[in-house]
């Protein structure tokens, strides 16, 4: 088990923020050849989780509070640099746990279709129709947090 760093935006120092943004750009813009606006004005209200390996971010996600009255939070920007090592599941489980500790009753994600099975393994279920975001097929998914998961 790796150490997971959990920080709100205003707790990140400039080097951490720079590395987070650089890593997200590497994965979502360069690797996926998808020019889009990654810095989207939601980072400052989010909780950021990451795992470092060899001094660099190897896995990351952010949690955004979507609807406080319904206690709905969104997990997004889920990434790993080292695929097939279990880091993805580790950071996702940490994100689910953190969202639950923040009071979430439901967690929403917009999963890239190829990763649907990854999220299903953690209990997410498809909650709507497939859609294109930045020309990449996505599917909305929801996880209901109950007493058995909390």
* Measured distance CA(145)–CA(147) in Å, rounded: 7
Residues 6+ apart with CB under 8 A from 53: 2, 81, 82, 87
* Measured distance CA(20)–CA(39) in Å, rounded: 11
Q: Can you give the pLDDT of all 150 residues of the chain as single tens digits?
A: 789 999 999 999 999 999 998 888 888 767 777 777 777 878 888 999 999 998 999 999 999 987 666 689 999 999 999 888 899 999 999 999 999 999 999 999 999 999 999 999 999 999 999 999 888 899 999 999 974 444
- The pTM is what? 0.88
């Amino acid at each position: 088990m790796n150490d997971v760093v959990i920080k709100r935006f205003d707790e990140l120092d400039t080097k951490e923020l720079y590395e987070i943004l650089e890593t997200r750009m590497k994965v979502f813009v360069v690797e996926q050849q998808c020019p889009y606006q990654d810095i989207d004005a939601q980072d400052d209200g989010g909780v950021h989780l990451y795992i470092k390996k060899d001094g660099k971010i190897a896995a990351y996600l952010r949690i955004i509070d979507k609807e406080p009255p319904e206690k709905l939070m969104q997990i997004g920007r889920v990434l790993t640099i080292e695929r097939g090592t279990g880091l993805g599941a580790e950071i996702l489980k940490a994100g689910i746990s953190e969202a639950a500790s923040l009071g979430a009753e439901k967690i929403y994600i917009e999963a890239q279709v190829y990763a649907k099975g990854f999220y299903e393994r953690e209990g997410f279920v498809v909650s709507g129709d497939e859609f294109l975001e930045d020309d990449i097929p996505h599917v909305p998914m929801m996880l209901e947090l109950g007493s058995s998961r909390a």
